[in-house]
């Protein structure tokens, strides 16, 4: 009974912190490490050389200048993803091999929980506690769930008659385009890419122009985890240009 009361008290404390009613934790401005497009495993400038400001909605001040991708950059990212799908190792790996890499990706996200939560806090105006206690931990759990599914993708075999046998194959579909909204930058990024990665697909991701910073950090961690070049590409930019080209 005492243990349950302690757990209830902890849950209540966490809930009040996420609602902004407890003493607020001071947010330290992190070093913005990644501001370029991520194409074929490398951080690169936009073809046009253009950049745009990402703004802290609490203060109206610029956090950083980020590469402004356009149709040409989307085309380069799609080409990299297509090459990685048609000729790279990711779709041809065993599910068990992909599972190990995705679990490593989840471990790296967990190790950088505070940094990722802080980026979303500053970029999206989210409460730091929400990112620390819910958003980023939820990303870790989601990625581990789909890592566990990667080696359980299989078809079915049916005996149609004495002479005929029917079977199905489940194969990665190809290059996937993901467009991420601004309100849950980490959650929607990971929830979209996790099943695609587990299935063996390659992808191009376009985060909202209001919240590009954590997406670029996730791309960096994906490479560190061992996801091959070209499998996961991130194009930052505006919806009417980069987003329209991707969709």
Domain count, the chain: 1
25 is a domain residue: no
Name the pTM for this structure. 0.87
13 is a domain residue: no
Domain, as residue range, for 163: 33-246
- On the CB side of 235, CA atoms within 13 Å amount to 33
State the CATH number of the domain containing residue 231.
3.40.605.10
Q: What is the pLDDT of residues 149-188, one digit of tens each?
A: 998 887 788 888 888 888 888 889 999 999 999 999 999 9
17 is a domain residue: no
Q: What is the pLDDT of residues 2-56, one digit of tens each?
A: 555 554 454 444 444 444 544 445 667 778 999 999 999 999 999 999 999 999 9
Q: What is the pLDDT of residues 114-142, one digit of tens each?
A: 999 999 999 999 999 999 999 999 999 99
pLDDT score of 16: 45
């Amino acid at each position: 009974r005492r243990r349950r009361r302690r757990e209830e008290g902890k849950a209540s404390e966490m809930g009040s912190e996420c609602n902004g009613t407890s003493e607020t934790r001071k947010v330290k401005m992190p070093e913005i490490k990644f501001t370029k497009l991520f194409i074929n495993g490398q951080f690169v400038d936009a073809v046009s050389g253009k950049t745009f400001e990402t703004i802290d909605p609490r203060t109206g001040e610029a956090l950083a200048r980020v590469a402004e991708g356009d149709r040409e950059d989307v085309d380069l990212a799609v080409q990299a993803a297509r090459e990685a799908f048609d000729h790279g190792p990711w779709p041809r790996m065993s599910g068990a091999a992909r599972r190990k890499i995705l679990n490593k990706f989840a471990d790296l996200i967990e190790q950088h929980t505070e940094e990722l939560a802080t980026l979303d806090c500053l970029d999206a105006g989210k409460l730091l506690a929400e990112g620390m206690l819910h958003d980023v931990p939820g990303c870790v759990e989601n990625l581990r769930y789909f890592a566990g599914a990667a080696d359980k993708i299989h078809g079915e075999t049916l005996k149609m008659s004495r002479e005929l046998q029917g079977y199905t194959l489940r194969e990665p579909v190809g290059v996937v385009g993901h467009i991420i909204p601004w309100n849950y930058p980490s959650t929607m990024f990971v929830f979209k890419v996790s099943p695609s990665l587990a299935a063996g697909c390659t992808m191009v991701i376009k985060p909202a122009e209001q919240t590009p910073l954590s997406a670029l950090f996730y791309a960096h961690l994906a490479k560190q985890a061992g996801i091959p070049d070209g499998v996961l590409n991130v194009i930052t930019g505006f919806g009417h240009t980069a987003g329209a080209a991707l969709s």
